[in-house]
Every structure is written in structure tokens, then in C-alpha cells.
Structure 1
């Protein structure tokens, strides 16, 4: 029977997730495992990645915990070499590692600027560069950058964070253009507010939460499973003809008009 429905499964795929120790990264790692993938769990804190690796194994998939600082290129080189040795291939890279320091523009220091850009943009670029070489040898792959709605619209998250996430969106387009001939798709996901350990304190502020919901047509904060579906879609063959795009998972926030 003729069928046009592509597979959303990731069976026998190796998915690398940076910043996988907790929050969004942990959810994406577990979601990839639930879709059938073996998962490389990469972060700086051993206790966190070992916990995430255990959760991946509970799903019945292999987990490869790797300690690496995304801001240090030498550690990324060693990490990718270790992934090749242990997992044998890289099918999907999810650049999730990120951070923010909420400062007014007049108060931003050079140290803050460097730290945010090294983590959010530089780390994602060099991890992509190194994983892409492995993907090319394997005939292709998929790279997913976790950006933010802050890279598209102005928010109170701070100018440096916004600039780094906007840079990630543009980097996504350029890498997609350059690596398309190698069978590598490069896309981004732009989340709005999601309930994670990092946002928990902010969301406990009733006025702050009310401001968020007022800007969200769906009138709710995102749940982690809302992001997992988007990531699995962009990791699977269902997205084979999509590249250079940013999928905003935001409850309609970036479509909002006054």
C-alpha cells in the first residue's frame, strides 16, 4: 500500500544533547530515548549527567555520559572523539547548553558578555563544527540549536542573552546553507517560558507570571513535553526537507500583536 507518512522514530540513531544534566536538556535526552535513540549526555557536572544517563537507560536505550565544558574547544574535540569511539557515529546533535546573566545594558560587564556568548553561541558553533565532520563521514545528520524567542523579539531577558540567541538563529541559516550538500540539516527551536529548575523562582512571582501569560495567546507556560515533540520531529526523517528554519514553541507569543 502506498504510504506518505514518514517515520518520527529515532531507532538506532545516536543523539548528542549538550547541557543534558537537567531541565530542558534532560527532557530532550529522555524524549530522544523514548523515540528509540541511544543518547550521548554531555554537561559539566558529573552527578547531573549520571542521573540523566540513568533515566535514559530506564527507557531501555544506551546512554553515554560525557563531561565537557562547552566553552572550551579542546574539551569539545576530546568529547567528539570519545563519542566516535564509544557510540561509533553521530546522527543528531542538539545544542541545548546555555546560560544567562540578567543585567541592564548599562550594567553589563565584559566578563558577562564573554561568558554568555562563549556558552550560548561559541560553544554551539564549535560543537556543530566537530559533529558535522563525523556526520559528513556517515552520510549526513541533523543539528538542532536551542535558541529562544528572545532572539526574535525584545524581552526583559537582557541584551547579551538576546544578542547571543539572535546570533544562533542566523548561524543556523548559514550552517544550513553550507552543509546542505553534505546531507546535514540545521534548524533551531525558539522556546518561550517553560517550567524548569532555572525558571521556577521567576514563575513564582505572580506579577511576572501574569505578564508572561498576558503575552501568550494560549495563556499558559510551556511544559517540557511541548519541546520534546518539536525536537523529535526535527531529529527524524519527517523533517528531511526542512533546513535553516527556526520553530518557535511559544504558545503563539511571537505572533502576538497589539
Structure 2
């Protein structure tokens, strides 16, 4: 059955790779600031800035079978160098944008037989890492919110979170900007490589499919073994 799936963000990186997997079988709507390479795909693009636009003003179907929230930040600095305003900005984009987007399409999600919602966290929430205070705090809020939302709305719709480790996307350019940096980051992972956008896209497509219909309220670590293995 063809589904209506809304992406908030998603014109590049993990979002674009997920759209590539889904666009032939489903009606994928990407609400993002830029169109990126979406012209290559059979998707609908709606211009939307989650930090200032109202999602209720978008021309969306009455029924949404999937919602995926992609916007995020990677602010990795020592705590002493981060002003409280940095935490507020990260929280607004990572968490409050997600809350507003979900709240704004709640009725459309409930119109589905059983919609699937996907959010993204980070391995740094469950595994303490230096310089991750801001992003871990914002993403940690997502994990708690997602579990509560999943409980409140079961069985009407499902809510799951994917928690990647470092993934090779435009958002991570500063950390993977040259071969030496990438090799160093590869070595930190038990599987000896950082993630690729398609690694996360594959799990995202699965969670949006009927094959995952008995999965909700979960935080899935897709992290090359970073969160659970110590092979040093």
C-alpha cells in the first residue's frame, strides 16, 4: 500500500538516502529549507524552515502514515567554552522543532491505520563522551519524549528513535573533512569505520515499513558497535 510519508528536513545526507529508498513505493513529502538533489527523485518538496515556519500552513495530505524529523546539530566543544545560548539554540532545533512539527500534524498521523514516527538521537546520550554536553542534552530529551509519546499513543501510531554514532554526512564535514581525520574516527569504532548515510537510511526505511509493525518505544543503536563493545 502506498503511504504518505513526511520528512522534516531531508534534502541531503541521511534524509536524501532514505528518500531514495522510498520514493518509488510511497508518496514522500520533504519539507525543508533547500531542495538539494531532490529533483533526481519522485518526491514532493515544500519549502519550510522548522525554526520559523508553521507546519500547519503546509499543503499536506489529510492522512500521514509516517513522520521523520531530520534537523540536528553537532556542537562538539568543551563545556567551559559553550555559552548557555548555545544549549538553547541546540535545544530549539533538535527538540522543540521536533515537538512543534509532531504536534502540528498529530491529527493527520492519527488518521492513519498505524503511522510510524522516527526521530534521531546520538550514541553520546547513552555513552558519555567529552565535548558532547549540548548535543547529548538535546538528544536525550528526544529519547525521553519519544518513549512517553509511544506509550501515550499506542496502538494508534508507533514512535522509535535511531541513535547513530558519527556518520559521514554534510553535517559531519568538520569532523571528517580529510582522510587523516576520517581514518582516526574509523579506528574509534569496533567495526573500524564511521557510518554512512545509507546505513541509517536502511534502518529508517525498515521502521517506516510494515516489517517493523511490532516495534515501538525503542532507541536503536546504529553505531558500529560504539555503544556496547570495548575492543581496545
TM-score (norm 1): 0.82
Displacement of 1:211 in angstroms is: 4.3
Equivalence for 1:78:
57
Equivalence for 2:41:
56
Out of 28, 40, 47, which is 1:39 matched to? 28
Displacement of 1:206 in angstroms is: 5.5
Please say if residues 7 and 29 of structure 2, whose CA atoms lie closer than 8 Å, have aligned partners that are also in contact. yes
User: Are 2:21 and 1:28 equivalent residues in the alignment?
Assistant: no
User: Are 2:100 and 1:126 equivalent residues in the alignment?
Assistant: yes
Task: State the superposition RMSD in angstroms.
Answer: 2.0
More helix by share: 1
Displacement of 1:243 in angstroms is: 0.6
Where does structure 2 lack aligned partners over 5 or more consecutive residues? none
Please say if residues 151 and 167 of structure 1, whose CA atoms lie closer than 8 Å, have aligned partners that are also in contact. no
Please say if residues 69 and 76 of structure 1, whose CA atoms lie closer than 8 Å, have aligned partners that are also in contact. no
Out of 92, 95, 109, which is 2:83 matched to? 109
Displacement of 1:131 in angstroms is: 2.4
User: Are 2:214 and 1:234 equivalent residues in the alignment?
Assistant: no
Q: Is the partner of 2:139 in helix, strand or coil? A: helix
Equivalence for 1:247:
220
Q: Is the partner of 2:195 in helix, strand or coil? A: coil
Displacement of 1:166 in angstroms is: 1.2
User: Are 2:164 and 1:191 equivalent residues in the alignment?
Assistant: yes
Distance 1:253 1:146 in 2: 16
Distance 1:138 1:171 in 2: 21
Displacement of 1:111 in angstroms is: 2.6
Displacement of 1:207 in angstroms is: 5.7
Displacement of 1:12 in angstroms is: 0.8
Displacement of 1:114 in angstroms is: 1.7
Equivalence for 2:112:
138
Equivalence for 1:17:
7
Q: 1:100 to 1:204 in 2, by over 3 A?
A: closer
The CA deviation string for residues 162-191 of structure 1, in whole angstroms up to 9 with x for no partner, is 11111111111011001104x200001111
Displacement of 1:251 in angstroms is: 1.1
Q: Is the partner of 1:209 in helix, strand or coil? A: helix
Distance 1:240 1:206 in 2: 40
Distance 1:77 1:240 in 2: 28
Equivalence for 1:65:
45
Where does structure 1 lack aligned partners over 5 or more consecutive residues? 1-10, 58-62
